[in-house]
Chain A
Amino acid sequence: MATIKLEIVTPEAKAYSDDVDVVTLTGIDGEMGIYPQHMPLMTQLVAGEIHARKGAENIFLAVGDGFVQVTGEKISILTDMAVRAENIDEAKAEEARQRAEARLAGKLSDEELASVSASLAHSLVQIKVKRRTTK
């Protein structure tokens, strides 16, 4: 069976790179599944979950906002965060979420607000992905 190369990079690291059978991700217009030989496509990635299947193995990742570029044989994803589900520390993410929410409740300047709400979104996504995969 044909495979497609999935590559996820963040500014801090190359988070994932492997040949997979199918990838499901959340684009700006909703969830989509990408199989090998998909037509060239560029879209925005919405913070959420990426699911990749490789043979019998299921891979889940929590990702932040970003961009997706699909060519026939490769899916490239640019995002500001990507964490494998098994690497997510739920307690830590939960703690981060509470900290961010507590800060949001207080008074914040615009620039602080932007960074806090971004980190809040990150921890929310991580918690969501972790809960789903451990069920």
Chain B
Amino acid sequence: MPSTRDIRRRIKSVKNTAQITKAMQMVAAAKMRKAQQAALVGRPYADLMNAMLAEAGPRIASFEHPLMQNREVKKRAIIVVSSDRGLCGGLNGNLFREIGKLDKGNTTVFITAGRKASQFIARTKRQLAAEFTYKDTPTFGEARAISKFAQDLFLKNEADAVDILYTKFVSTLVQQPKTVPFLPVGKIQAVTAGVNAPEQELKSAGVRTDTFEFESDEETVLGELLPHSLNFQMHQILLEAKASEQSARMVAMKNATDNAKQLIKDLTLEYNKLRQANITKELLEITTAQMAVG
């Protein structure tokens, strides 16, 4: 039977835990909004990129861009986008289960973004090609580094296909691991910005495309545009993964806070019961003592 002091101590420690998880929940909520916001400000950029791709699309088809080369897939690279820290519920666990399904042993290499993914790959002794980090607000530079590395791998024939595995933001409560093809670029698609952005159509700027003049020549300009759009896509994925991570953390922390509150309630009840029992016992002792004396 624990003493009242033990229970008091436990209540205090649970209260501290609840305070911390509550604070983490608030922080995660604010960061989630920020990540979603950051994805949205990319929208004008996506629109403009789409306008340019619309010019480029029909023309690129006329020459074979190295990034569009379809080869027999002997070696596949997978970019895994995870979080840096834990305490975010089943987010990383779900993601890593997908890895198990995708991994084909020797023919699969991994590129990781986020510390948890690189730890997992190292722990399970899979092939790691490179590891990258990204901050709470992923910058374009960080995304470019990852995307550039994947493109190089593809161009050097070290990977015949590159996929991205990340956590898609469905809603604040639901995040899903998802695999999207990255390379080779099959069809030129419109880039989108914003979490859960609707699919977009490629629209040209309303100018007849054949009137465009290119400096230096169209192959170079359009050739450069394609990798750039991939970098942008990578950036959007990082932002979305970040939003998923933060909302998963927010939900996990909310659950933890609720549990702690319930525990405090139960413990307080037990404490009061014990306290009352003690008082009754003491009263009984006093009366019996008095009766014995008198």
Residues of chain A touching chain B, judged by Cβ–Cβ distance below 8 Å, are 7, 9-14, 27-29, 39-44, 66-67, 69, 71-72, 74, 76, 78, 80, 109-112, 114-115, 118-119
Residues of chain B touching chain A, judged by Cβ–Cβ distance below 8 Å, are 38, 41-42, 44-45, 48-49, 51-52, 55, 130, 132, 139-142, 144-146, 148-149, 152, 205, 207, 211-216, 218, 220-221, 224-225, 228, 232, 235
Q: What are 7 A-B residue pairs whose CB atoms fall within 8 Å in the complex?
A: A42-B214, A67-B225, A76-B52, A112-B145, A114-B145, A115-B141, A118-B141
Q: B139 — nearest CB in chain A belongs to which residue?
A: A12
Contact B51 A11, beta carbon cutoff 8 Å: no
Contact A76 B220, beta carbon cutoff 8 Å: no
Taking CB atoms, residues of chain A closer than 8 Å to B140 are 10-12, 80
Taking CB atoms, residues of chain B closer than 8 Å to A111 are 130, 132, 145-146, 148-149
Q: Taking A9-B48, A40-B211 as contacts, is the C-beta distance between A29 and B149 under 8 angstroms?
A: no
Partner among B44, B145, B205, B235 whose Cβ is within 8 Å of the Cβ of A71 = B205
| A64, chain B: closest CB distance, angstroms | 9
Contact A44 B141, beta carbon cutoff 8 Å: no
Contact A28 B144, beta carbon cutoff 8 Å: no
Partner among B52, B130, B142 whose Cβ is within 8 Å of the Cβ of A42 = B52
Contact A78 B48, beta carbon cutoff 8 Å: yes
Q: A78 — nearest CB in chain B belongs to which residue?
A: B48
Contact A40 B130, beta carbon cutoff 8 Å: no
Contact A114 B214, beta carbon cutoff 8 Å: no
Q: Taking A12-B42, A111-B148, A119-B141 as contacts, is the C-beta distance between A78 and B214 under 8 angstroms?
A: no
Contact B45 A11, beta carbon cutoff 8 Å: yes
| A44, chain B: closest CB distance, angstroms | 6
Taking CB atoms, residues of chain B closer than 8 Å to A109 are 130
Taking CB atoms, residues of chain B closer than 8 Å to A44 are 216, 220-221, 224
Partner among A27, A78, A115 whose Cβ is within 8 Å of the Cβ of B45 = A78
What is the bound-complex CA distance between A124 and B230, given in angstroms?
26
Contact B41 A69, beta carbon cutoff 8 Å: no
Contact B221 A43, beta carbon cutoff 8 Å: yes
What is the bound-complex CA distance between A119 and B220, given in angstroms?
24
Taking CB atoms, residues of chain A closer than 8 Å to B216 are 28-29, 43-44
Taking CB atoms, residues of chain B closer than 8 Å to A74 are 205
What is the bound-complex CA distance between A114 and B45, given in angstroms?
23
Contact B42 A69, beta carbon cutoff 8 Å: no
Taking CB atoms, residues of chain A closer than 8 Å to B235 are 11
Q: A71 — nearest CB in chain B belongs to which residue?
A: B207
Taking CB atoms, residues of chain A closer than 8 Å to B221 are 28, 42-44, 67
Contact B44 A67, beta carbon cutoff 8 Å: no
Q: Taking A41-B215, A42-B52, A78-B52 as contacts, is the C-beta distance between A10 and B224 under 8 angstroms?
A: no
